[in-house]
Structure 1
Amino acid sequence: MALETCRTAATDYLDFLAAWVKKPRQTASVVPSSRYLAQLMVRGLDPADGRVMELGGGTGVFTRAILATGLPAEKLEVVEINPGFARSLRRHFPRASILEVPAQSVSSHAAGERGSYQMVVSGLPLLAMDKSLHIAILSEAFAMLRPGGSFVQFTYSVRPPVSKTILDMLDLDVSRVGHTVRNFPPATVFRFTRRSE
């Protein structure tokens, strides 16, 4: 078991490094996220409470953590535009739905209905994106989320990766879930929710 875990970690690292070399702004890190960060990302996810969407599946670190909560794989959709990562995700998680589409247009490809998802778990590098993409991605994510649903995002900063101006424009609140130094670089997780709920 330990040997298999080491092999998976080594493969994930090499795949992530190769993706970063090809498209550094899209991948934004030279190493995949740690399992400690993944555990923070899925805090509060209820495996019996409906569908989950993951944005930026990468090597599957967050995907594994989501499924480890007990969520049925059929209730998970993973969005990944990197073809190599998408192929690997399909191989490792054959019962989850892997969507090879941009995060800002998932609603037209999702299996679940708009407004029915409990959580969107985002591994996207928001700090490397411009404000117009922040608006498009968050708008699409909240169109998929049901009332009371949340958008969970990590960042390598201690501050939220979305400006107060955009939060006000989209009528969103943000709260800090936690921070881990057991990730490279250290990371902070934030939860975004609608203000009106």
Structure 2
Amino acid sequence: MNKRDLVKKQIGKGAMQCFEKFGLDKTTLEDIAQTVGLNKASLYYYYKNKEDIFIETALREGEDYILALQEKVQQKKGIESQVAYYMQARFNYYKKVLNMNRVSTDTLNKILPRFFELYDALMNREKLFLSELIRKAMSTGELVQANPVKLASVLINISDALKHSVEQKAILKREADIDYARSLQDMKLLIALIFQGLKK
């Protein structure tokens, strides 16, 4: 890792501490600079604004988390157990990121286009990982023939839809806390039903 990347990682770590403490909206570049031990002008050398820091850092942390999670999943026995574990853990991770960084509508509108551009790339890698798990289960005879790519895509898309649905309801009702319990139960039921139908 070169010096620039090391400094960016340090800035990201300090920024996430600030975002967790103050929230994205209330955190200033001055807060981040102070936490990292740099002056505010130095931050502009690496990032245009705090939203760019948040997006890059959140997604880098997300990638690290997902890679570590994928290693843990390989240790589980059985495709249904692997997929259920993976989907619940990723759901909880993204829920944690959202809850730590509740932001205003204006800020969301600023960050979402760039966030989704980068998130889509991460999601495609997640779908590839799940499709490989499914393909392996088919090759060992654990599952009947299915389309692994389409099934992986459906699992990720439905998980995200369940999460977004409960978030939207909470925003519309102006609730400070979001209860994801029902969405997680729905996800578990869906996984059980899908794999029950695909097992030999």
Fold shared by both chains (TM-score > 0.5) = no
TM-score by length of 1: 0.28
Q: Hey, which of these two has a bigger chunk of strand by percent?
A: 1
Q: Hey, which of these two has a bigger chunk of helix by percent?
A: 2
Flag the structure with larger Rg.
Answer: 2
TM-score by length of 2: 0.28
